[in-house]
Amino acid sequence: MRVTDNGYRVPQDGDSGNVWSDAIEFSLDRVALHKHDGIDSEKITIENLQRSTTLLDPSNWAVNGSGSGYVQNVSMPAGLTLDKVKMKFSIASGPNQYEEIHPTVKPTSITSFRCIINNPSYEIKILYV
C-alpha cells in the first residue's frame, strides 16, 4: 500500500487480504472528516463566505491616458489582496442594475488596481469574495 503526500492510502498491485477495502474505507473517512480552518467542509455555504463591496462613483471616471476608455484607481478593502480574491463587477443602479460587466483590470499593487471601462455613466459595484 502506498500513502500519498496528503495522507490518503492507495492500494497497489500485489497487496493481499483486506488491504483494498481497508484503504478505501480509510480514505473515505478522511474525506468525510476533512476541515478548512476548523469548519466542516460539508457546512461551507455561500452564507459562510466573507464578502466586501466597493462602489465606483460615475463622477470619478477619468479619460484613460492611452485614450481608450475611462479609468478609476481602486484600493481594495482592508485585508484583501488580488492574489486571494475573486471579483465580480456589475452596474449598481439604473435600468441596467445588476447587469454584470467585464472591465479591464490592471494591477498597480497587490491591494490596488486600475479599472477601465467604455461607458463612464455607470456606477459600478465590485463584489469581492
* Residue-level pLDDT at 116: 95
For the chain, the structural domain boundaries read: 2-43, 50-128
Position 107, amino acid: P
Q: How far is CA 24 from the centre of its chain?
A: 32
Q: What is the mean pLDDT of the chain?
A: 86
State the Cα–Cα distance between residues 2 and 12, nearest whole angstrom.
7
What separation in angstroms does the CA of 17 have from each of 4, 28, 30, 44, 88? 21, 19, 21, 38, 53
Q: Is 2.60.120 the CATH classification of the domain at 50-128? A: no
71-106 pLDDT per residue, tens: 999 999 999 999 999 999 999 999 999 999 999 999
- Least confident range from 18-32, 50-64, 80-94, 99-113: namely 18-32
pTM, 2 dp? 0.63
